[in-house]
Amino acid sequence: MVYLSSTRYEDAYQRIVDGSAHSTGTSILIFASIDVDAICGLRLLTTLLKRDSIGHKIIPVNNYSDITQMNATLIESNLQIRTLVFLNCAAQVDIQDLVNLRDGLSVVIVDSHRPFNLYNVFWNEQVHCLDDGDVEKNMGELRSAFEDIEFSNDTDDESSDDEAGHKRGSDSDGEGKKRRRTGMDPDEFIRLQEQRAKKRELRQYHQSLVQAYYAQGSYYGQSCAVSMLMLAEQMGMPLSADLVWWAIVGATSQYLLHQIDETGYALVVTRMRDLSRRVSLNSPSIPLPAARDKTTEARRSVNYSSSSQALLDSQLGYPTDTAFTPYLDIVEEEDDEGYLKARAGVSTAAEAGLLTSSKIAAQSADIAESSELQFSLLRHWSLANAMQYSPFVARRLATWSSRGRSRLDLLVAKLGLSKAEAGAPFVHLAPELKTQLFKRMAEIGADYDMADASYRGFVRNYGWRKSSLSGSDMVQALLALLQPVEGGQESGFFMAYDALSQYPVLKRGIEGAMEMQKLVVGQGVTMLERQAVKTLRSFRLAMVGMETQTMFGSAFALRQLALFLMQTLRERSKVAQSRLPFIIVAPLTEDRLLVLGVTPIVGGPRVEARFKSQFAGETRNKFGMVFEAAAGDLGADIRQGFFDSSVLEIKREDFSAFVDKLRRHL
């Protein structure tokens, strides 16, 4: 048993910890892929390890060659290393190809990339994969097929005598011996021949099964962060708001990047809802620093009563309306007292006013469910900006045309907001306006092609003095932080890691996310205006800023742009063309290009129902195989081996030849 079903995740942790029991130094290496989900999962794992005071080492990795390099420098030379943990990487390849699995080394893989490599899931005793239920449910037949092929390959002569129906190695041995003893009478011989023929057939069938499994294309399974949260839960770790929040962020990132579909997301939301309710009730209020004078004393009491009121509300099942937290400027934690003192000078009446408005904002740092609008970063800038720079709004209203832009203005007016109000920071709007906005949006959304403008999400409250964040805000912020900068990818990785707990870093991420949204939507709209996306016979090709290096040289920004363009074109083109695969290209460095193949999560290439997964449905991304085939034909210097197989790097001069090859394979 080398995959772990979702009820037995704790075994994985046990294996991780076992390694450290034998040595006092660092015995655990954690490889984390550079993406949001992996960072959230990592944060959960390190929290667990820290609780148990277990030394570990974290290595951010970007592609498979990073891992093999580490194998040479770290694992082979250092016998102290007992456990390798892979977060969001390495499930798709046979782990033995990457690292030298010496005795005593155990590997735990928590990866949302699918399909699993069968050697990892069924073969290698040292490797443990966390399964989200798909292996258990769908892959029973595949397992027997795989084992049949593997076991009979090794011992061809002996097992050819086996009865084909038996696939377990332990059974077949005894059976084989018995048959041989019975010897050589002609009837038996004919029977044997028949059996062999049958067995050959079966093997062919099994091989075709395995082939079909690998050929289905790549997709995503349960978020790494959610898996880690379940692990933590099974380990009896008292759940805190932070832990649950990280899992939510991980899952939200999958949803926003179209890695899991609506059903998969709904599954996570239901699970997270229960957990978030649990931690929100338990979460302590943010204590106010000791106040000295009377006015602040009075304020304190009012504050506490308001928070207990909110607590009462939530216990009674009234939704605490947390979507509309009044926003006050961010004040550093240390300034709290000074801030209170300054505030104490204000007359009590004014303060009472202040407090009634903040009544709804409970003092706790909890997680609340909310219905989120698909307007980007709504809580952090004005409604006008949030709508203008939302890929969703741009796509549905076609804001690249003047007609679309006037429709946007009309929509704002219909929502009952004046231009000035729409341009003001959203959090400063009157609470009634905000409530009204959500209601009006639900009413008139359908007229503007936006009936599905809202989705279920979560909001994290940081008390009433810091603006609250939705899961998608957080994901956008982390993606912005992950943008490669001067210091290389690692600095971004660790910045995002810090941002999960440090508010000032997160704030910087939010600012970056605003820039990124502006850029992505701006670039997308420009490209649509100029009709820069080429529609070829078998696929669409978008080339971004081929002259200059832009921030689209990173897969994160490029993927967002690609998703925007692809969805727009799907919704707005003729039926015949709407389902074409989408490829986007942007310059990475002076002479290299980054190529990305994108499939929508709904309506992409489909697989047979028996491969249907819980989280990604039946949609698969087949670009990995297509790219590989095209690259093989071309024989050019192409860098593959990112954890996402639909990403590759190619030399600028090879690109046109590569596109020619792609035509043949798509």
Partner 1 sequence: MLGDEAFRLAKEAKDIAADHIPAYNEEQVRLVTQETRYLWTRIEEMIASLNTAVANQQRSGSSQTQLGSSQPHGTPGQQQPSQSQAANTQQSAAQAEIENTNAQTALYFLTLNRNKRCLLAYHHRRAQFLRSLLWTLHLASSMIPASLSLRLSPEEQNYARDYARLNSNYRDAVENQLCPSDSLNWAADGELPPRDLFIEVRVVKDCGEIVTENGVVNLQAGTQHYLHRSDVEHLVTIGYLEHINPS
Site for partner 1 contains 58 (CB under 8 A)? yes
To the nearest whole angstrom, how small is the minimum distance from the Cβ of residue 80 to partner 1? Answer: 5
Whichever of 61 and 607 has its CB closer to partner 1, that residue is 61
Restricting to residues 68-87, name those near partner 1 by CB under 8 A: 73-74, 78, 80
Q: Does 54 bind partner 1 (CB under 8 A)?
A: yes
Residue 546: closest CA among 597, 514, 490, 584: 584
Q: How far is CA 249 from the centre of its chain?
A: 8
Q: How far apart (Å, rounded) are the C-alpha atoms in residues 441 and 447? A: 10
Q: Considering the rule CB under 8 A, would residue 266 count as an interface residue with partner 1?
A: no
Residue 603 near partner 1 by CB under 8 A? no
Number of residues that bind partner 1 (CB under 8 A): 26
Nearest approach, Cβ of 337 to partner 1 (angstroms)? 18
Helical H runs in 285-345? 294-316, 336-344
- Give me the amino acid identity at 196: R
Stretch that binds partner 1, among 43-51, 97-105, 275-283, 621-629 (CB under 8 A): 43-51
Strand partners of residue 220: 113
Does 548 interact with partner 1 (rule: CB under 8 A)? no
Please tell me whether the peptide bond between 115 and the residue prior to it is cis, using omega within 30 degrees of 0: yes
Q: Does residue 538 contact residue 544 with C-beta atoms inside 8 Å?
A: no
Find out whether 279 and 240 touch, Cβ atoms under 8 Å. Answer: yes
Least separation, in Å, of the C-beta of 500 and partner 1? 11
Say if residues 515 and 588 touch (Cβ distance below 8 Å). Answer: no
State yes or no: residue 490 binds partner 1 (CB under 8 A).
yes
Instruction: For the CB of residue 40, give the shortest distance to partner 1 in the complex, in Å.
Output: 15
Q: Rounded to the nearest whole angstrom, what is the least distance from the CB of residue 506 to partner 1 in the complex?
A: 14
Q: Point out which span in 49-57, 463-471, 536-544, 579-587 binds partner 1 (CB under 8 A).
A: 49-57
Q: Are 646 and 218 in contact (CB under 8 A)?
A: yes
- Residue 597: helix, strand or coil by DSSP? strand
- Establish if 56 lies at the interface with partner 1 (CB under 8 A): yes
Rounded least distance, CB 572 to partner 1, Å:
44
46 φ, ψ (degrees, to nearest 5): -65, -35
- Does residue 519 interact with partner 1 by CB under 8 A? no
- Which one of residues 59, 210, 302, 424 is an interface residue with partner 1 (CB under 8 A)? 59
Nearest CB to partner 1, comparing residues 79 and 312? 79
Residue 531 interacts with partner 1 (CB under 8 A): yes or no: no
Do 133 and 4 touch, CB atoms closer than 8 A? no
Binding-site member from 39, 40, 49, 557 for partner 1 (CB under 8 A): 49
| 287: contact with partner 1 by CB under 8 A | no
Is there binding between residue 501 and partner 1 (CB under 8 A)? yes
152-166 CB burial, b ≥16 within 10 A, e <16: beeeeeebebbebeb
HSE-up of residue 157 (Cα within 13 Å, Cβ side): 1
CA distance 610 to 139: 9
Radius of gyration of the chain (CA): 28
Smallest distance from partner 1 to CB 6, Å? 27
Q: In the complex, which residues of this chain contact partner 1 (CB under 8 A)?
A: 23-26, 46, 49-50, 53-60, 73-74, 78, 80, 488, 490-491, 494, 497-498, 501
